[in-house]
């Protein structure tokens, strides 16, 4: 949600920011509605004051057994005006919220301008592309060839964009998730939470998925929605809260399934596990004071990167351009892992600073110098477990079709060093 005071004071700057996000210049419409609303509020307050004064006069007259019919009639007339003004105020408030809740966050000044992912900028990279003495296979070819990944069974059960994993591949997925959680909690300073996988619409509104992106979500009915990411329950734990300053920074993590309809993904990545209706992810969330949020974004990025470094998998970090950022983000880094089977980089994590955008929607604040101020919220994948599994399968595959287990995962795999056809 945007600060209306900022729009009043900086209409041109706001319009320019929205244009960078692919939106039309809309400040004039917003300010027109806001003006009517505020004028209505002023008139309403004056009439309420007049009514109160008349009510006092009526009371005085009645106490003296004097006739108050004329004043009572005036109060009744004022009641009609008051109800009419309140209705107009509510209408304008609704119109204003309808616009503001659908507008994306303002991009940070350091975010590159651009229309889509082709305009993203390289921030840094780590490691180097692996070399193979054979033509590396795609992840689903690796898994299907050893009989441990099955899409046909999943389609029979649930339709397209689902998968079943078996035996050691299933264990490998679980091992990756446990390794990530241990890394983030024991070394990176995050507190682990187990959270609900179903949330109410207020939570999705708070983080920005609703009302604009309802088509990307699954609903379970009775005002329950399946979470698209653990960002939603984790961030919303501070909704309608006033945190103390010594509670910040708050760094929390959770491992959950994620559910997405992929409404805009028709025809994209139809083979394999890259784009699924259901996948798992270890999510990182930070709640911080505003002055620390930019540094916290860099810290979160480093924490996410540390997973791939320990796995010894080559990746690069991209700064997303204005046209490629998520709705709630002020600035985003994408970590893109190298997939040798596919011969391209693929996103495996997005780390975003939302500043006060989500906090305003959630009314999430902290007490500073006896004042209540909005916190800044950040979120990032640390990492997407399914895509990390894909990266391991493609980067650690062998010519005979087996998969070498990364050294850091051996304790989680019962020291199984190689996954072969079962």
Residue of 43, 50, 40, 156 lying closest to 90 (CA atoms):
40
Distance CA 147, CA 421 (A): 6
The number of beta carbons lying within 10 Å of the beta carbon of residue 231 is: 28
Type and span of the H or E element at 149: strand 149-150
- Whether residue 197 contacts residue 227, with contact meaning beta carbons closer than 8 Å, is answered with yes
Question: What positions carry a catalytic annotation?
Answer: 260, 275, 347, 350, 387
Q: How far apart are the first and last CA of the chain?
A: 53
**Sheet of 242-244, strands arranged across:** 242-244, 365-368, 371-374
Question: If you write DSSP's letter for every residue of 334-402 in order, what string do you get?
Answer: EEEEEETTTTEEEEEEEEEEEETHHHHHHT-EEEETTEEEE-EEEEEEEEEHHHHHHHHHHHSB-TTS-
166/163 Cα distance (integer angstroms): 10
What does the block give as tokens for 292? 């620390």
């Amino acid at each position: 949600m945007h600060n209306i005071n900022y729009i009043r004071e900086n209409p041109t700057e706001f319009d320019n920011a929205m244009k960078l996000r692919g939106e039309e210049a809309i400040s004039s419409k917003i300010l027109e509605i806001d003006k009517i609303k505020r004028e209505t509020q002023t008139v309403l307050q004056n009439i309420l004051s007049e009514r109160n004064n008349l009510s006092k006069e009526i009371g005085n007259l009645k106490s003296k057994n004097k006739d108050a019919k004329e004043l009572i009639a005036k109060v009744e007339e004022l009641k009609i005006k008051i109800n009419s003004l309140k209705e107009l105020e509510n209408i304008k408030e609704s119109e204003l919220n309808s616009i503001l809740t659908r507008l994306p966050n303002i991009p940070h000044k350091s975010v590159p301008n651009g229309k889509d992912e082709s305009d993203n900028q390289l921030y840094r990279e780590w490691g180097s592309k692996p070399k193979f003495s054979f033509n590396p296979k795609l992840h689903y070819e690796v898994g299907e060839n050893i009989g441990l990944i099955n899409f046909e069974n999943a389609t029979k059960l649930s339709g397209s964009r689902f998968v079943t994993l078996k035996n050691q591949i299933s264990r490998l997925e679980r091992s990756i998730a446990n390794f990530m959680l241990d890394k983030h909690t024991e070394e990176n300073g995050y507190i682990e939470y187990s959270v609900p996988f179903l949330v109410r619409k207020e939570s999705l509104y708070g983080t920005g998925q609703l009302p604009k992106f309802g088509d990307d979500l699954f609903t379970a009915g009775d005002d329950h929605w399946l979470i698209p990411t653990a960002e939603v329950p984790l961030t919303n734990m501070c909704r309608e809260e006033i945190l103390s300053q010594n509670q910040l920074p708050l760094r929390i993590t959770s491992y959950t399934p994620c559910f997405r309809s992929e409404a805009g993904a028709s025809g994209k990545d139809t083979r394999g596990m890259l784009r699924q209706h259901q996948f798992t992810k270890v999510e990182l969330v930070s709640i911080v004071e505003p002055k620390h949020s930019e540094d916290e974004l860099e810290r979160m990025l480093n924490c996410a990167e540390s997973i791939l470094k320990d796995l010894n998998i080559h990746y690069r970090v991209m700064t997303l351009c204005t046209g490629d950022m998520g709705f709630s983000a002020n600035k985003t880094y994408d970590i893109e892992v190298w997939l040798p089977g596919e011969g391209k980089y693929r996103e495996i994590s997005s780390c975003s600073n939302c500043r006060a955008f989500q906090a305003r929607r959630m009314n999430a604040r902290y007490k500073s110098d006896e004042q209540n101020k909005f916190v800044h919220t950040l979120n990032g994948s640390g990492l997407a477990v399914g895509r990390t599994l894909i990266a391991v399968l493609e980067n650690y595959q062998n010519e005979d079709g087996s998969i070498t287990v990364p050294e850091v995962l051996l304790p989680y795999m019962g020291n199984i060093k190689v996954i072969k056809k079962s």
